[in-house]
Structure formats: structure tokens, C-alpha cells
């Protein structure tokens, strides 16, 4: 069988993870949410009252954290389900300290590359048959997957969307979850812009379109259309 790795990068609320999950299901591939790993490390630091600016301590936390993906929509850390906890705005607002920590990135990069090879149960895939051959694979989304983590991925997609549209999507998502609090649409947009700026301008592994990535603007696409477009890209490359 052959291995087909799909790297999906892009800014926050661009529809990466929703698209990646549906695509993985459709292809019978594993899905790895790299952002969830940075979120889990941030959560563990907060639980242990560790100063996020203390690079050495935060790195040690990353080293000790056992992060896994037992199911498509599930994230586990140290044996506990943290799927909902890591989406807290307290995490999102402070994550850039962890994401710009080189030691943390190195540790998570090793784990992400191992998972992409299928070494970790959560990333196991059954794949699909094509011309009498089984194609197995993985969909990984994040900020630096196509540039740093899997520079030789079989397919790289860079998702973009208008900031107003991304803000509205994130606002609706938080509202539906009952996690909006007292935030207005403007607050959500401000948070997204601040996180994008931090992701794009940090020194280590900034958010950047890989040269050989295909740009996909999802501003005026439905989720189903996004999935279909990337699905077609996969078949064009088989
Ligand atoms: O994708 P998600 O919004 O969950 O990512 C949360 C944050 O984790 C990002 O804003 C970014 O700072 C960091 N991240 C990263 N590299 C990745 C994935 C996420 O730095 N590959």
C-alpha cells in the first residue's frame, strides 16, 4: 500500500479542521489536529500554574504531556478527555507564548511526524482502493505542516478566507456551543486578528503558504464544496 499525506494550513477559523475531518472520513484516512496539541500543552501549563513565558518550564510540560487522538473529534491528554477544555478562550488568547516556544515545537514536531507515519493508534487509517492498490494516509492541519512538519507531503493546501467571514464563522460557532460569553462579533474579530498576526510574524515556524501548496479561498464556499475541491486534488495526484 502507499501512503498519502495531506497538509492543510491556514489562519484561524478558515474552515481547516472541519474540512480536514470530513475529508479524512471520506478517504478513510487518519486525522491529526496539530493545533489541539499546542492547546493541550497550554492547558496543562495553566492547570499547573506555570508561567507561559517561562520557556524551559513550558518545554518540560510539553515533554511530559501524553497527547493522543482516540477518535476523530476527541483529544486526550494524560489519559483524560480534554476535547472541550482546550477550546476555552483562555487557551486561545494565551497560546501564542506556547506556539512560539522552539523547544515545544521540536517536541510536538517529532510526535506529529511519527503520527503521520501511522505509528500512533489515533492516526490509523484503513484507506481506500485505487487501481487495485490500497491508498492509506493522513490529513494533518495546522500552521506549519506544509512548510516544516511534512515538507514532502503528497498534497499541500493553504486555506484562506476573508477576515469578516472568518470572524462571523467563529462567532456563530462559539454562540452555538454556548461559549461566547459576553463577546461581540468585534471582540471575536479582534482576537482572531491578534492570533493571526502572532502566527504570521513569529520567528519559529510562522504561518506561511508553502511554495508548492495549492491556495484555496473558502470565503464563498460551503463546507461540502471545500471538501469536494480537496478530494478532487487528491485524485489528480494519485
Ligand atoms: O488550529 P488552532 O486554531 O486550534 O491552533 C491554535 C494555535 O496553535 C494557533 O493559533 C497557533 O498559534 C498554534 N499552532 C501552531 N502550529 C500548528 C498548529 C497550531 O503554532 N501547526
Tell me the CA distances in angstroms from 3 to 117, 118, 138, 141, one per residue in order.
Answer: 8, 9, 8, 17
3-state SS, residue 139: strand
Q: Where are the domains of the chain?
A: 2-236
Q: Output the CA 130–ligand 1 centroid distance in Å.
A: 33
- pLDDT tens, position by position, 150-190: 999 999 999 999 999 999 999 999 999 888 889 999 999 99
120: cell is 500512533
pLDDT of residue 145: 98
Options 1.10.3210.10, 3.40.50.80, 3.10.450.50, 3.40.50.300; CATH for 2-236 is 3.40.50.300
Residue pair 237/155 in contact (Cβ under 8 Å)? The answer is: yes
> Ligand 1 pocket test: which of 17, 21, 143, 188 has the largest number of ligand atoms within 8 Å of its C-beta?
143
The interaxial angle of helices 16-27 and 223-236, nearest 10 deg, is 50
Distance CA 153, CA 125 (A): 16
Measured by CA distance, the residue closest to atom 4 of ligand 1 is 35
Ligand 1: which residues within 6 Å by Cβ? 12, 34-35, 38-39, 95-96, 99, 142-145, 195, 199
Give me the residues of the chain with pLDDT under 70, please: 119-124
Instruction: Find out whether 12 and 196 touch, Cβ atoms under 8 Å.
Output: yes
Predicted confidence at residue 118, as pLDDT, reads 74
3-class DSSP state of 209: coil
The label of the residue with cell 500500500 reads 1
DSSP 119: -
Select from 75, 99, 100, 109 the residue to mutate for testing ligand 1; criterion: most ligand atoms less than 8 Å from CB: 99
Region label for 49, one of left (φ > 0), alpha (ψ between -120 and 50) or beta (otherwise) = left
Find cell 468585534 and name the residue.
186
Among protein residues, the one whose CA lies closest to atom 16 of ligand 1: 143
* Distances, alpha carbon 43 to alpha carbons 46, 74, 86, in Å: 5, 15, 6
Least Cα distance to 1 among 121, 168, 131 occurs for 131
Q: CB–CB of 157/233 below 8 Å?
A: yes
Q: Pull the grid cell for residue 19.
A: 474540512
Class of residue 208 by CB neighbours under 10 A (exposed 0-12, middle 13-18, buried 19+): middle
d(CA 169, CA 112): 27
Supply the residue whose CA is at minimum distance from atom 8 of ligand 1: 35
The interface predicted TM-score (ipTM) is 0.98
Neighbours of 110 (CB within 10 A): 11
Report how far residue 109's alpha carbon sits from residue 90's, in angstroms, rounded to the nearest whole number: 24
Amino acid at each position: 500500500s502507499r501512503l498519502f499525506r495531506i497538509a492543510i494550513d491556514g489562519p484561524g477559523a478558515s474552515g481547516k479542521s472541519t474540512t480536514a475531518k470530513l475529508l479524512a472520513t471520506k478517504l478513510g484516512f487518519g486525522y491529526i489536529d496539530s493545533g489541539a496539541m499546542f492547546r493541550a500543552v497550554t492547558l496543562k501549563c495553566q492547570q499547573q500554574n506555570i508561567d507561559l513565558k517561562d520557556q524551559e518550564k513550558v518545554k518540560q510540560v510539553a515533554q511530559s504531556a501524553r497527547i493522543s487522538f482516540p477518535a476523530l473529534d476527541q483529544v486526550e491528554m494524560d489519559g483524560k478527555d480534554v476535547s472541550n477544555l482546550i477550546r476555552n478562550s483562555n487557551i486561545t488568547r494565551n497560546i501564542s507564548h506556547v506556539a512560539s516556544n522552539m523547544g515545544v515545537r521540536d517536541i510536538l514536531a517529532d510526535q506529529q511526524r511519527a503520527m503521520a507515519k501511522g505509528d500512533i493508534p489515533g492516526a490509523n487509517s484503513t484507506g481506500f482502493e485505487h487501481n487495485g492498490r490500497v491508498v492509506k494516509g493522513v490529513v494533518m492541519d495546522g500552521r506549519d505542516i506544509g512548510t516544516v512538519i511534512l515538507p514532502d507531503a503528497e498534497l499541500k493546501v493553504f486555506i484562506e478566507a476573508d477576515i469578516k467571514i472568518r470572524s462571523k464563522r467563529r462567532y456563530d460557532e462559539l454562540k452555538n456551543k454556548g461559549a461566547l460569553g459576553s463577546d461581540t462579533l468585534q471582540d471575536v474579530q479582534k482576537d482572531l486578528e491578534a492570533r493571526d498576526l502572532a502566527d504570521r510574524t513569529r520567528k519559529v515556524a510562522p504561518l506561511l503558504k508553502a511554495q508548492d501548496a495549492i491556495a484555496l479561498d473558502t470565503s464563498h464556499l460551503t463546507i461540502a464544496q471545500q471538501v469536494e475541491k480537496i478530494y478532487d486534488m487528491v485524485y489528480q495526484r494519485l
